[in-house]
Amino acid sequence: MSRACPVCGGTQRFAFLERDRVPVFQNAPRATADEARAIPRALLRLVACESCGFVANDAFDAESMRYAGGYENEQSHSGVFEAHVETLVDGLVRSGVRGKRVLEAGCGAGAFLRRLCREGGNTGVGFDPAYRGPDEDLDGAVRFVADYYRGPTGPDAGFDVVISRHVIEHVPDPRALLHALRAACEDRPAAQLLLETPDVEWILSHCVVEDFFYEHCSYFPTGALRYAAACEGFRPTRQSALFGGQYQWLEAVADAPEKPALPEAAEVERICALARRYAREVPARIAALERRVAALAEQGGVAIWGAGAKGVTLVDLCDPERRRVACVVDINPRKQGRFVPGTGHPIVAPEALREKGIRHVIVMNPNYEQEVTMQAGAVDPTIRIHVADRL
Ligand SMILES: [Zn+2]
């Protein structure tokens, strides 16, 4: 592998997953099935770094990705996800994020930042190229900029707290993002960094096929995330698992030592061993999923629940010709009536399950199993619920 690791600069890297022609967007549903099937596709080639354990799509082309209007990843329609955000915000306010100046890089629709500012009496600025909505909210306590955060300019500098949730995995040069966030804390040595991102060890150890996709080009084990933050001048203070272990949360302060140490060799070896095992096991796992979905389809209509990246990736892997899965359910009204990017499966509201004759619903995220069981059960209590990673 000729390219160096974007986190540690190491050149000992190996590829463990290649998928040709994956859809470049997962969260951009289209107005027609034809449009959805015509979206660009590209190569996903995941490489693991033997020095720090960082996993990257080495074939990622940032030019093919433009996050703007039409990108739809709002998850706050789910009670489970709302509860996750509430717990996070409450914990932050209790731990002292009160009366602070907060920056959120990649704020989405701004729900998290609004809540953090409202509950903690903070003032905030949120950046996101896909943001749409008012420029200000909460009587001016929150401001939004529909753009990437590129570093401190004018009033957008000198923050006490810098946050980036579910963003760093979309960035091919994660050190550059951390560098910009560190610059936003300049002259504030007690400033705090808060990061949330998937934990690649969870994906690898559970052999999850639908959690690697084009929108995510950077996947961190916990050690590599701490190391990347430390390299850019943040001293990690706390790290924990969130959302059933799928996500990791890192807190750090802006006063790092000069030269951080690489992640421990034992952790890096463990990640590399898991990646090699993943490479061996994933073809059989996909074949088993295909067989299972086909068997369910023979017993009656099958729907996938969740038109997010996981669901979109699963149908692309298991039903590219739309022969087995009748539709994809999503509770986000902005996705309903549209079509899955890549395969062109229709995205419907839960109420459509009955008219489509659905007998089996496959829940993409195990954290939503109970919620989906209730919502699907309200439409038709005889529908059987399955969880994708237990199929
Ligand atoms: Zn590395």
CATH number at residue 185: 3.40.50.150
- Give the 3-state secondary structure of the chain: CCCCCCCCCCCCEEEEEEEEEEECCCCCCECCHHHHHCCCEEEEEEEEECCCCCEEECCCCHHHCCCCCCCCCCCCCCHHHHHHHHHHHHHHHHCCCCCCEEEEECCCCCHHHHHHHHHHCCEEEEECCCCCCCCEEHHHCEEEECCCCCCCECCECCCCEEEEECCHHHCCCHHHHHHHHHHCCCCCCCCEEEEEEEEHHHHHHCCCCCCCCCCCCEEECHHHHHHHHHHCCCEEEEEEEEHHHCEEEEEEECCCCCCCCCCCHHHHHHHHHHHHHHHHHHHHHHHHHHHHHHHHHHCCEEEEECCCHHHHHHHHHHCCCCCCCCEEECCCCCCCCCECCCCCCEEECCCHHHHCCEEEEEECCHHHHHHHHHHHHHHCCCCEEEEHHHC
Is the Cβ–Cβ distance between 258 and 197 less than 8 Å?
no
Domain that holds residue 315: 289-390
- Model confidence over 270-326: pLDDT tens digits? 999 999 999 999 999 999 999 999 999 999 899 999 999 999 999 999 999 999 999
Q: How far is the CA of 272 from the centre of ligand 1 (A)?
A: 11
- Kindly state whether residues 308 and 231 are assigned to the same domain: no
> Domain for residue 337, yes or no?
yes
- Kindly state whether residues 333 and 250 are assigned to the same domain: no
Q: Structure pTM? A: 0.92
Q: How far is the CA of 220 from the centre of ligand 1 (A)?
A: 10
Given this model, what pLDDT does residue 67 score?
A: 56
Q: How far is the CA of 48 from the centre of ligand 1 (A)?
A: 8
> Domain for residue 322, yes or no?
yes
What's the CATH number where 296 sits?
3.40.50.720
- Kindly state whether residues 85 and 220 are assigned to the same domain: yes
- Kindly state whether residues 147 and 189 are assigned to the same domain: yes
> Domain for residue 51, yes or no?
no
- Kindly state whether residues 370 and 239 are assigned to the same domain: no
- Kindly state whether residues 241 and 296 are assigned to the same domain: no
> Domain for residue 154, yes or no?
yes
Given this model, what pLDDT does residue 178 score?
A: 97
Q: How far is the CA of 239 from the centre of ligand 1 (A)?
A: 19
Task: Indicate the SS3 state at residue 364.
Answer: coil
Given this model, what pLDDT does residue 70 score?
A: 58
Given this model, what pLDDT does residue 72 score?
A: 63
Is the Cβ–Cβ distance between 387 and 328 less than 8 Å?
no
Given this model, what pLDDT does residue 25 score?
A: 87
Q: How far is the CA of 333 from the centre of ligand 1 (A)?
A: 40
The domain boundary residue, chosen from 260, 279, 311: 260
- Kindly state whether residues 173 and 300 are assigned to the same domain: no
What residues does 328 pair with on adjacent strands?
A: 304, 347
The tally of domains found in the chain comes to 2
- Kindly state whether residues 209 and 116 are assigned to the same domain: yes
Residues in the 5 Å CB sphere of ion ligand 1: 5, 7-8, 10, 49, 51-52, 54
> Domain for residue 47, yes or no?
no
State how far the Cα of 207 lies from the Cα of 319, in Å rounded to an integer: 19
- Kindly state whether residues 236 and 309 are assigned to the same domain: no
- Model confidence over 14-61: pLDDT tens digits? 999 999 999 998 888 999 999 999 999 999 999 999 999 999 999 999
Residues in the chain: 391
Given this model, what pLDDT does residue 75 score?
A: 58
Task: Indicate the SS3 state at residue 167.
Answer: coil
Query: Which stretches of the chain drop beneath a pLDDT of 50?
Result: 1, 68-69
